[in-house]
Amino acid sequence: MKKWCLLLMGLFFALASQAQAPAALTLAQLQQYEGQYGYTNGMTLQMMASPRDLRLYAFITDARYPLTFIEPDAFRSNSGDTVRFQRNAAGFVTSYVMHRQQFRQLKRGIVFSRQLWFPRPAEAQPFKYIYTAPAATGDGLPVGTLQGTGLDPKLLATMVTKIVDRSYPDVHSVLIIKDNKLVFEEYFYQYNRDSLHSLRSASKSFISALTGIALSRGVLSSVQQPVAALFPEYKIQHNSPAKQQITIENLLTNQTGLDCDISDEKSVGNETKMDYSADWVKFTLDLPMLDAPGTTGRYCSGNPITLGRLIEEQARQPLPKFAKRYLFAPLRIKHFNWRFVPDSTSAETYCQLSLRPRDMAKFGLLYLDQGCWQQRAIVPAAWVTASLAPHSVVQGVSYGYLWWLKHLNANGVRYDGMMAQGNGGQRIALFPQQHLVVVMTAGCYNQQSPADELMSKYILPAFNPTR
């Protein structure tokens, strides 16, 4: 009898579990939600149903965010937000609600390319990778082949195959520069060598470079220069002698002492709060102090934003214009997008820089070669050395001047690197001992990026001494 009771109880809980678990939607059901909708700050987004994995995605600017079905007309984002769709009397979707805000559907239905969903053309099955050397395009980036580099063609072929079969989803590009030459270049989905890609927080390392250039040109006087006094237009809240001591170097090392920490939702300077404020620089300078400047590292996006505005004010020109003249033009970077407007109108674009991956590679090679590009000094060598040296610890990782100083393990061998990195899997990784630069772009926003694993498993092991 007891056995039967246990079996019945097991059956009951199994059925209850199945009843609670939401069933997957068909492509036709997901397509009911497709269309263009309103979004915050007068922006729009697009809802698209993927034929690849039968999920609904929200496309905001050039980024896509997966939504998980939880119940009829309701989905949840990776960040935990609930998106609830509304219908009219005829049963058609007309709007969605998020954070108690209603956003109307502006246009029904979406026409899109299948390349959005497939790393390589779906008809190219079974996939077999064939290496092709990067093309010389006249953009100033030297190219070569894998031969003689030490890189393992078999490992790289496996990496590409796993990206294509989506073992590593949403990787957009992988580029490798070895011994000053681009020797590996692969793009996926709708991306190609001419596509601009958002860098997210990897943009911070470019602001670091511009700070070094500004110092070398006398636009800024010293990394020890106090910051608050350079913004006389602000009546700073929570003012104190400690706040007046915050220096340019403290901004570079994320050691301002301000209550600003992206990893702490309770932080007064939480990034979401800053995003929708009227003036990001004032928001940052107004934050209360937690400790003395130069003591504790906290990842705070307001720090490089404040640096960028400081360069603008002292140089008396917009930051993108300063960058174009002193950094991009010497590197022969002609195509970029940088809307540096640090206020609520940039809440979804984050004042980030967008570049072609080849141009990201040039920036990495510039730093690997101590600030020189084709025998021309662009960033002072002393600044590169200081930027890539440890100054603080942020989120448990050594940190330079807006550069992460990370090590990766490849089959038990440690490789010390320096990285410009951003949300979604954006990487410009330097490995000086191997004279290696790895560039990756991806769309894994607000989730774990495979970038470091790809380098650890398929690129760096080629240099293990035991091979």
Question: What is the structure's pLDDT at 79?
Answer: 86
* Among the listed residues 79, 36, 29, 80, the one whose alpha carbon sits nearest the alpha carbon of residue 58: 36
Looking at per-residue pLDDT, the higher value among 462 and 266 belongs to: 462
Query: Looking at residue 348, what is its pLDDT?
Result: 87
The 10 Å Cβ neighbour count of residue 21 is: 8
Q: What pTM did the predictor assign?
A: 0.92
What is the predicted pLDDT for the residue at 123?
57
42 pLDDT band, cuts 50/70/90, is confident
DSSP 4-61: HHHHHHHHHHHHHHHHHSPPPPPHHHHGGG-EEEE-GGG-EEEEEE-TTT--EEEEET
pLDDT of residue 16: 37
Q: For the residues of 295-339, what is the DSSP string, one character each? A: T-----THHHHHHHHHHHHHHTS-HHHHHIIIIITTTT---EEE-
3-state SS, residue 181: strand
Residue identified by tokens 């690129």 is 459
Strands (E) located in 401-445 = 404-410, 413-422, 426-431, 436-442
Beta carbons of 418 and 403 less than 8 angstroms apart: yes
Q: Sorting pLDDT into bands at 50, 70 and 90, what band is 22?
A: low
- The whole-number pLDDT of residue 297 equals 98
pLDDT above 50 (res 201): yes
Q: What percent of the chain has pLDDT over 70?
A: 94
- The answer to whether domain 16-112 and domain 117-195+356-467 are alike in fold is no
| Domain covering 16-112, topology | Lipocalin (2.40.128)
pLDDT of residue 383 exceeding 90, the answer is yes
User: For residue 90, what are the contacts with CB-CB under 8 A and spacing of at least 6?
Assistant: none
With beta carbons less than 8 A apart as the criterion, state whether 152 and 179 touch.
no
Residue-wise pLDDT tens digits, 48-104: 999 999 999 999 988 999 999 999 999 999 889 999 999 999 999 999 999 999 999
Average pLDDT on 218-245 reads: 97
Q: What's the pLDDT at 253? A: 98
8 A C-beta contact, residue 127 and residue 60: no
- Kindly indicate the confidence band of residue 272, based on its pLDDT and cuts at 50, 70 and 90: confident
Peptide bond into 121 cis (omega under 30): no
Query: Is 180 buried (19+), middle (13-18) or exposed (0-12) by CB count in 10 A?
Result: middle
Amino acid at position 163, single letter: I
pLDDT for the residue numbered 154: 98
d(CA 235, CA 453): 46
Confidence of residue 14 (pLDDT cuts 50, 70, 90): very low
- Which CATH number does 213-348 carry? 3.40.710.10
Q: Is the pLDDT of residue 18 over 70?
A: no
Name the CATH topology of 117-195+356-467. Answer: Beta-lactamase (3.40.710)
pLDDT mean across residues, the chain:
93
Mean pLDDT of 267-282: 93
Q: What pLDDT shows up at residue 11?
A: 35
Distance CA(392)–CA(398), nearest Å, equals 6
Q: Could you state, in order of their start, the residue ranges of all structural domains in the chain?
A: 16-112, 117-195+356-467, 213-348
